[in-house]
Amino acid sequence: MQARRASRELAFILFSQFDKTITNYSKENLDDIIVKSVRILSSSASDDLKTSLGALIDMKNKIDDYEAEHEINLNRPLEAANIAVPLPMTSDMSARVEEMIEVAEKALLALEIAEFTTLESQSEVKNYAIQIAETFQKNHDEIDSIIKKYSTGWDFERLVKMDKDILRIALSELLYIKETPMKVVVDEAVELAKKYSTDDSSSFINGVLAKVIVDNGLKG
């Protein structure tokens, strides 16, 4: 995982922890919330892995039961070991495996972010996440007004908070930090939306950012 990608995800978790006006948070507050965010990620990863393990055990038990109850094995002597039998539908197995892969990938990503953040040599992850938060602190009125302007047909106050936070992170980078290629910022904002928000969020966020880029003549 790239450090900046980890920073954006950490910034998103950081933003989700804010329970008051962002300007009220000091640098020390942000550091404390980063620690809390990493703990949340680690705990979530642990829960996801337990879920995936439970699903794997359940699948193994179902396969064993199916094999034991198949007519081929029912007709064998009791003392004889079961022999392998063909499975009925690959689609059933495939869907379950895909679900477990998704859970495992999410858990591994969370653990990578936690590792990036806690390793001394990777302090840039935490620093960039805090830079994003501080940039939004300084420019929150302008950034939120931009979101309102380009959220055509949407009431800003009723927008999903996760979508607003993803846009806040992306706009902080695009308009103020300007250190990352534009396409990378947009692509990773869309990925955050797919991972954390609603089914329609990724297209909504992509549309808002595309309008901002065109109207502001952003390049790179």
Q: How many CA atoms lie within 13 A of 41 on its CB side?
A: 28
Determine whether 75 is exposed, middle or buried from the number of CB atoms within 10 Å of its CB (0-12, 13-18, 19+). exposed
Decide: 199 and 137 in contact? Cβ < 8 Å. no
Tokens of 145: 């007004």
Other beta carbons within 10 Å of 113: 25
What pLDDT, on the 0 to 100 scale, is given for residue 121?
46
Of the candidates 169, 53, 34, 189, the one whose C-alpha atom is nearest the C-alpha of residue 113 is 34
Other beta carbons within 10 Å of 169: 27
For the entire predicted model, the pTM comes to 0.68
Determine whether 167 is exposed, middle or buried from the number of CB atoms within 10 Å of its CB (0-12, 13-18, 19+). buried
CATH class held by domain 3-215 = mainly alpha
> Which residue ranges make up each domain of the chain?
3-215
Tokens of 98: 């895909």
What pLDDT, on the 0 to 100 scale, is given for residue 115?
64
**pLDDT tens series, the chain, 220 aa:** 477 887 888 888 888 877 667 777 787 888 788 777 777 777 777 777 777 778 778 878 888 888 888 888 888 888 888 888 887 766 667 777 777 777 777 776 666 666 666 554 457 778 888 899 999 999 999 999 999 999 877 787 888 899 999 999 999 999 999 888 999 999 999 999 998 888 889 999 999 999 999 988 877 6
Reduced to 3 states, what is the DSSP secondary structure of residue 200?
Answer: coil
Of the candidates 169, 107, 184, the one whose C-alpha atom is nearest the C-alpha of residue 139 is 169
Q: DSSP letter string over 13-32?
A: HHHHT--S-GGG--HHHHHH
Of the candidates 69, 1, 209, 150, the one whose C-alpha atom is nearest the C-alpha of residue 218 is 209
What pLDDT, on the 0 to 100 scale, is given for residue 136?
94
Give the integer Cα–Cα distance in Å for 95 and 90: 9
